[in-house]
Amino acid sequence: MEKMIVMGGKPLNGEVTISGAKNSAVAVIPAALLVDGVCRIENVPNINDVTVLLNILASLGAKHRYVSSDVIDIDCTNLKTHVVPYEMAVKMRASSYLIGSLIGRFNKAEVAMPGGCNFGVRPIDQHLKGFVALGADVKLEHGVVNAVAEKLIASSIYLDVVSVGATINIMLAASKAEGVTHIENASKEPHVVDVANFLNAMGANIKGAGTDVIKITGVRSLHGGTYSIIPDQIEAGTFMLAAAATKGNCLIKNVIPKHLEAITSKLIEMGVQVEEFEDSVRVSRTGELKATNIKTLPYPGYPTDLQPQTVALLSIAKGVSVITESVWDNRFQYIDEVRRMGADIKVDGRSAIIQGVHELMGAPVKMTDLRAGAALIIAGLAANGVTELANLVHIDRGYENLEQKLQALGAQIVRKVCDDAPEFPDVKKHA
Ligand code: EPZ
């Protein structure tokens, strides 16, 4: 088993470059299924979720080749099937995007119900409602979604919840439907806009992405082209929170500062300095952290995908903070692990009540999902002593070269294959 060993207490200092957005990449790659021709996708993060999706596309007959470490050519001209192997689809949540793309391409799709991080019920009823509105007959049989349409016809679809996945999935299918589709109460997340921009670059006609009504005029076919994925808002936020937690000073490069505004303003409330530049932000802290209250919300609100990392930071802020999770119904499973490190947190329904402690202590902990893993790393970096993290499979799904990037900022973090004691020369001095 692999473990990460973090020797806490060192401020993060220096520069880090943010990779392409995971949640864009995992939608843009399935979107390539709609394209006749070669899509060159740039700024693709090198993470396991991308590898899984490329393997799924290959199983459908697509070809891909890495032009460089973050540029991929995908050619879906000669797809041979609309059926996604069951065991591949259940590996990740984003496999649901294969349904929209395959219906758009073949008027039919057979894809297992998606897997992904487990934080409560994760229905796809709004996705399916969208496909039905576009004229598909959708059945759920033996864990597999089977959708068939004679032809896709545009429709007006009101989403009962603001759903990133449903918005993107309906956009994918509707790009090839006959007529003009409206998605109302659409998600406004940066990666929704990114997928719309990708599709438009390949010849689609989508307007309004980034607002709550998206208008999609169907086209007969999409052509090849080149597209660069936006920087990862959540990876950037994770480094901002890590810099603040360790009393560091980091220049976080290749970001879109507008996407980070909710995080920036909350960090400033906590007493952290944040300077914005054109495509970078500098985060530094010299004084004490102040408690604050946060509610996660769809974009432009505070992102749920930074909730665990923010709890890790607030666990060492002076005073009582309340963080309310309004997107997912059970995204506090990791809190038991942060408590092992000495955090004083109570969960009451959808809120975590955090009584800040003077310092966290290193401990053996387990990642319970992707962002929980990032939270535990932040806690470990800020803690006194050694933290040993297990279940790295979660973090590898979504962060590119995380420990190398942290090491370059001065963190003492290593990955080990066995249960050996850590080999930091100064462990005893700090522990
Ligand atoms: C996306 O998940 C992200 N995943 C998640 O990030 C993120 O937490 C989430 O959006 C919210 O921002 C990807 O982009 C791959 P939703 P998604 O549909 O699309 C309810 C990470 O850590 N809902 O916006 O699955 C649902 O239960 C991951 O990177 C329905 O009720 O989320 C939830 O309460 C984890 N019916 C809310 O909507 C539906 O049909 C938002 O879900 C769909 C969703």
SS (H, E, C) 213-238: EEEEECCCCEEEEEEECCECHHHHHH
Q: Going by CA atoms, what residue is nearest to atom 26 of ligand 1?
A: 122
With a 6 A CB cut-off, is 232 part of the ligand 1 pocket? Answer: no
Ligand 1 atom closest to 165 (CA): 19
Q: What is the reported pLDDT for 425?
A: 44
pLDDT above 60 for 414: yes
Per-residue buried b or exposed e for 3-32, using 16+ beta carbons within 10 Å of the residue's own CB: bbbbbbbbbbbeebebbbbbbbbbbbbbbb
Contact of 427 with 387, CB cutoff 8 Å:
no
Contact (CB, 8 A) for 239 and 309? no
Interstrand relation of 71-75 and 412-416 (parallel, antiparallel or unpaired): unpaired
Mutation test residue for ligand 1: of 327, 367, 402, the one with most atoms within 8 Å of CB: 327
> What is the Cα–Cα distance from 126 to 96, expressed in whole angstroms?
12
For residues 392 and 4, is the Cβ–Cβ distance under 8 A? yes
Query: Residue 119: which of 260, 374, 307 has the closest Cα?
Result: 307
pLDDT at 419: 57
258 Cα to the center of ligand 1, angstroms: 21
Q: Which of 158, 164, 188 to mutate to test the pocket of ligand 1 (most atoms within 8 A of CB)?
A: 164
Helix axis angle, 190-201 relative to 22-31, nearest 10°?
30
Least confident range of 36-40, 352-356, 425-429: 425-429
Instruction: Output the furthest CA–CA distance in the chain (Å, rounded).
Output: 70
The residue ranges of every structural domain in the chain are 2-19+231-430, 22-228
| Higher-confidence position of 376 and 87 | 376
Kindly report, residue by residue over 363-394, the tens digit of the pLDDT: 999 999 999 999 999 999 999 999 999 999 99
165 lines ligand 1 (CB under 6 A): yes
Q: What is the pTM (predicted TM-score) of this model? A: 0.95
Q: What is the mean pLDDT of residues 420-424?
A: 51
pLDDT at 427 over 70: no
Nearest CA to ligand 1 atom 25: 165
Give the whole-angstrom CA distance, residue 249 versus residue 252. 10
Distance 97 CA to ligand 1 centre (A): 12
pLDDT of 124 strictly over 70: yes
CA separation for the pair 393, 379 (Å, rounded): 18
Tell me the pLDDT tens digit for each residue of 212-255.
999 999 999 999 999 999 999 999 999 999 999 999 999 999 99
Predicted pLDDT at 418: 67
Report whether residue 160 contacts ligand 1, using a CB cutoff of 6 Å: no
Q: What is the pLDDT of residue 118?
A: 62
Q: What is the mean pLDDT of the chain?
A: 94
Ligand 1 atom 18, closest CA: 163
Going from the Cα of 277 to the center of ligand 1, the distance in angstroms, rounded, reads: 30
113 CA from centroid of ligand 1 (Å): 14
Query: What are the respective helix, strand and coil percentages of the chain, to the nearest 5?
Result: 35, 30, 35
CB 10 within 8 A of CB 410: yes
Question: Residue with the nearest Cα to atom 1 of ligand 1?
Answer: 164
Span from the CA of 156 to the centroid of ligand 1 (angstroms): 21
Is 166 a pocket residue for ligand 1 (Cβ < 6 Å)? yes
* Ligand 1 atom, smallest distance to 299 CA: 12
- 3.40.640.10, 3.65.10.10, 3.40.50.10490, 3.30.1490.20: CATH of 22-228: 3.65.10.10
Tell me, in angstroms, the distance from the centre of ligand 1 to residue 202's CA: 26
Span 8-28, mean pLDDT?
Answer: 98
Distance of alpha carbon 355 from the chain centroid: 28
The fold of the 2-19+231-430 domain, in CATH, is UDP-n-acetylglucosamine1-carboxyvinyl-transferase; Chain (3.65.10)
Strand order in the sheet with 280-284: 13-17, 249-253, 280-284, 273-276
User: Can you tell me which atom of ligand 1 is nearest the CA of 398?
Assistant: 29
Q: Is 117 a catalytic residue?
A: yes
* Angle formed by the axes of helices 97-106 and 125-133, nearest 10°: 10
Whether residue 420 has pLDDT greater than 80: no
**307: Cβ below 6 Å to ligand 1?**
no
Q: How confident is the model at residue 116 (pLDDT cuts 50, 70, 90)?
A: low
Is any atom of ligand 1 closer than 6 Å to the C-beta of 169?
no
Report angle CA 80, 191, 65 to the nearest 5 degrees. 40
Residue 428: what pLDDT?
39
For residues 229 and 194, is the Cβ–Cβ distance under 8 A? yes
Task: Determine what percent of the chain is predicted with pLDDT higher than 70.
Answer: 95
**pLDDT at residue 431, as a whole number:** 32
Say what the pLDDT of residue 221 is. 96
Residue range 241-292, pLDDT digits in tens: 999 999 999 999 999 999 999 999 999 999 999 999 999 999 999 999 999 9
Q: Is the CB of 370 under 6 A from ligand 1?
A: yes
Give the ligand 1 atom nearest the CA of 125: 40
